[in-house]
Amino acid sequence: MGWAFKIPGLPHYVRNDVRVSLFFYERDIILNKIMATLKNIIAPSFCSSCKIFIETDFLCATCLALITPITTIKIPLTKKYQASLFAISDYQEPLRTLLLKKGHRNRLASEQLGNLLWQHSDVRYADFDIIVPVPLHWTKYAWRWFNQSEEIAHIMSKKSGKPVVHLLTRKRITATQAGLTRAKRLLNLQDAFVLSDNSQFYKYKKILLIDDVMTTGTTLQSCFKQLIKLSPLNLYGSVICRRL
Ligand SMILES: [Zn+2]
């Protein structure tokens, strides 16, 4: 009669090969449960904001509920161009703390923010071809080994299947923007960014620009100003937080 596994609840006429595959199926479910339990013991997951224990995700329901959605705005650029700007929320908790984690050891925080951006903003409905992160000056990058915008861009790429292209370079070290008036911010960023590739290949592309936070929008505007030189078809921008 060959070999058979006795699986409770299965009638005797189920063929042996079906029984065997069901056996493996049930075994996998049990193994997965064991692995999940072990993972919670060895590396338990906590809410990234309030640190309470949670089983999945990275923010608990309470912290997620604190995030107030924000509307998509249009940034006017030239007569011909404007860019739609997506964001999760205002610059507030619990996002603020996560955004301040800007070291190379904080990749996970950026990844989580990227996932949140995809789930909680309209960027997932945008029709773009390529993703361009706002660059850091190379000295800053060498110091931190990390560019939050680039990490978020890679998550957008993973979600959308569209490539990240480093089309912009920061050629000047700019003074920190905080505390400057709008006019001074614009002056500070004047020609801070350049196109690193102006090939015809990028003509008529739909470009999504990624930064972590938008304050007055001068950084994004300076970047868009360069991207317009490529004659894109459409421009989008996306940030984690847009300051209100
Ligand atoms: Zn929480």
- Expressed in angstroms and rounded, the spacing between residue 152 Cα and the centre of ligand 1 is 21
Q: 49 near 61, Cβ under 8 Å?
A: no
What's the rounded Cα separation, in Å, for the pair 135 and 149?
7
pTM (2 decimals)?
A: 0.79
List residues, by chain if needed, whose CB lies under 5 Å from ion ligand 1: 47, 49-50, 60, 63
- Expressed in angstroms and rounded, the spacing between residue 125 Cα and the centre of ligand 1 is 28
- Expressed in angstroms and rounded, the spacing between residue 209 Cα and the centre of ligand 1 is 30
Per-10-residue mean pLDDT, the chain, length 244: 55 65 76 74 73 74 89 94 96 88 76 92 96 88 84 95 95 71 74 88 96 92 95 97 92
* pLDDT of res. 108: 79
Architecture of the domain spanning 68-242: 3-Layer(aba) Sandwich (3.40)
* pLDDT of res. 135: 93
- Expressed in angstroms and rounded, the spacing between residue 117 Cα and the centre of ligand 1 is 17
How long is the chain?
A: 244
* pLDDT of res. 54: 72
- Expressed in angstroms and rounded, the spacing between residue 64 Cα and the centre of ligand 1 is 7
* pLDDT of res. 38: 73
Q: Which residues contact 52 (CB under 8 A, 6 or more apart)?
A: 46, 60
- Expressed in angstroms and rounded, the spacing between residue 11 Cα and the centre of ligand 1 is 47
- Expressed in angstroms and rounded, the spacing between residue 96 Cα and the centre of ligand 1 is 13
- Expressed in angstroms and rounded, the spacing between residue 63 Cα and the centre of ligand 1 is 4
Domain segments of the chain as ranges: 68-242
Q: Which residues contact 56 (CB under 8 A, 6 or more apart)?
A: 45
Instruction: Look up residue 173 and give its two tokens.
Output: 């070290």
* pLDDT of res. 134: 95
- Expressed in angstroms and rounded, the spacing between residue 114 Cα and the centre of ligand 1 is 18
Q: 237 near 86, Cβ under 8 Å?
A: yes
* pLDDT of res. 6: 58
Give me the amino acid identity at 1: M
- Expressed in angstroms and rounded, the spacing between residue 51 Cα and the centre of ligand 1 is 6
- Expressed in angstroms and rounded, the spacing between residue 59 Cα and the centre of ligand 1 is 5
* pLDDT of res. 7: 58
